[in-house]
Amino acid sequence: MNKLKKIMNESFFSSPVKLSSNHLLAIEGMKKSEIQKLIERADYFANLDRHTNTKVLQGYVVLNVFFENSTRTRVSFELAARRLGAEVINISLINSSIKKGESLLDTASTLNAMRPDLLIVRHPHSGAPLLFTDYLNCSIINAGDGRHEHPTQALLDALTIKRRVGYLEGLKISICGDIANSRVARSNIHLLTTMGAEVRCVAPSTLMPSNLENLGVKCFSNMKIGITDADVVMLLRLQNERMTGTENPSEREYFKFFGLDEAKLSLANPNAVIMHPGPMNRGVEIASALADDTNRSLIKTQVEMGVAVRMSIIEALNHTKKK
């Protein structure tokens, strides 16, 4: 009976989502209903047998342009696009045109001349994908820009939580770690507060951005208080490459106060789950054993959900443009 209901749901109720924009640049400003639909559609893709034919985007050209190193996000986008039947071209611009002195906008115009349908862009500077929208005719997905946003990560985190817990509204979710330098944190804050979760941010005061509470979250510099009764503990990577040496005395001191270990986790809801956008620094933000605890850690599920969420988004942008 359940199986039948599931099939009914899939075939009758799940259809491509139409968005209000041709681009996915940020969670901030997105409507709750849009987020909800994207997650539902992604849930449908996640439930599909991996060999189901979902190739609805034959001939659709996706440029996967990364100005910053990435393995998981780039592969995840590529897989998602390929499963939809699109042609994917990966372009790594970390060392090429930028070093030759070509301006970002010349790069954008060059890419535009190749007439892609979709550009997926990761860039070390906040706001860069928005700038691209002025110079390209295709849809653009922000795959992470500087310290600003990483919208697909927030959507996949939401799907992961929803599939495990069943809902988002009213959940106590603690985002812990290097909030100041984290685009994942910003996207998650916007998404989770929009969906009605109670969001807490835990960070050493040196890594807490100013006036963060104005984004509708509670801020804590004591992790033990910040994760008490939490349903979800989301950890962030300590972004050493964006630091100066004045944020934090040492990794071991960080782990003592802000690393998740059994003792701190025991203060959270007994069923609390652990998430991390990866890549992890084991023994810095999370005790290694907890990261591998399959009962509590959803880290691998997050990666898996990434593909489904990105399928849902790519499909939606194609659908939106058609309209």
Partner 1 sequence: MIFTVLKSIKVLNPKTYFNDISDVVICNDKIFSICKDFKTDVLQQDRQINIYDCNGLTMSPGIVDMRVNIGKTENLTAIQKIAAENGITSMVILPNQTPKLNNPSIIDHIKRQSENPNLTKVNIYGAATKDDQGLEMSEIGLMSEMGAIGFTNGNKSIKNSLVMRRLMSYAAMINRPIIQHAEDEDLSGLNKASTSLINGEMNEGEISTRLGLIGIPSCAEVIIVERDIRLAKLTGASYHVAHISTRDSINVIREAKKIGLKVTCDTAPPYFALNETSLLSYNTAFKLSPPLRKEDDRLAVIEGIQDGTIDAIASDHRARSKDTKAQPFSAASVGASGIETLFLMTLELVHKKIIDLNKAISLLTINPANVLKMKKPSLEKDELADFIIFDENCPDVINQNNLKTSPTPFDRRKIKGKILGTFINGQVAYMNQILKDKIIK
Q: Least distance from C-beta 69 to partner 1, angstroms? A: 16
Instruction: Write out the binding residues for partner 1, residues 193-222 only, by CB under 8 A.
Output: 209-212, 214-215
Q: Is 127 in the site for partner 1 (CB under 8 A)?
A: yes
Residue 219 beta carbon to partner 1: minimum distance, rounded to whole angstroms: 11
**Exposure of 1 by Cβ count < 10 A (0-12 exposed, 13-18 middle, 19+ buried)?**
exposed
Give the largest Cα separation in the chain, rounded: 62
- Minimum gap (Å) between residue 238 Cβ and partner 1: 14
Q: Strand 198-202 relative to strand 172-176: parallel, antiparallel, unpaired?
A: parallel
Which is closer to partner 1, CB of 201 or CB of 232? Answer: 201
The CB density around residue 89, as the number of other CB atoms within 10 Å, is 14
- Count of residues binding partner 1 (CB under 8 A)? 28
Single residue of 48, 61, 219, 243 touching partner 1 by CB under 8 A? 243
Question: Can you tell me which of 68, 149, 157, 285 binds partner 1, judged by CB under 8 A?
Answer: 149
Span of 8-16, 139-147, 262-270, 315-323 interacting with partner 1 by CB under 8 A: 139-147
Q: Please give the Cα distance from 189 to 199 (Å, whole number).
A: 7
Residue choice 61, 131, 280, 303 for contact with partner 1 (CB under 8 A): 131
Q: How far is CA 243 from CA 65, 178, 206, 246, 271, in A?
A: 25, 10, 11, 8, 34
- Backbone angles phi and psi of 118, in degrees to 5: -150, 140
**Cβ-based nearer residue to partner 1, 126 or 228:** 126
Return the structure tokens found at 87: 């042609």
Q: How far is CA 300 from CA 164, 237, 294, 304, in A?
A: 13, 16, 9, 6
Q: Which of 11, 103, 271, 288 binds partner 1 (CB under 8 A)?
A: 103
Region 16-55 residues binding partner 1, contact defined as CB under 8 A:
28
**DSSP string over 26-52:** -STT--HHHHHHHHHHHHHHHHS-TTS
Chosen residue from 148, 163, 237, 264 binding partner 1 by CB under 8 A:
148
Select 206 or 288, whichever has its Cβ closest to partner 1: 206
Cα atoms in the Cβ-side hemisphere of radius 13 Å centred on 131 = 15
Footprint of partner 1 on residues 248-277 (CB under 8 A)? Answer: none
What residues make contact with partner 1 under the rule CB under 8 A?
Answer: 28, 103-105, 123-128, 130-131, 145-149, 183, 186, 209-212, 214-215, 242-244
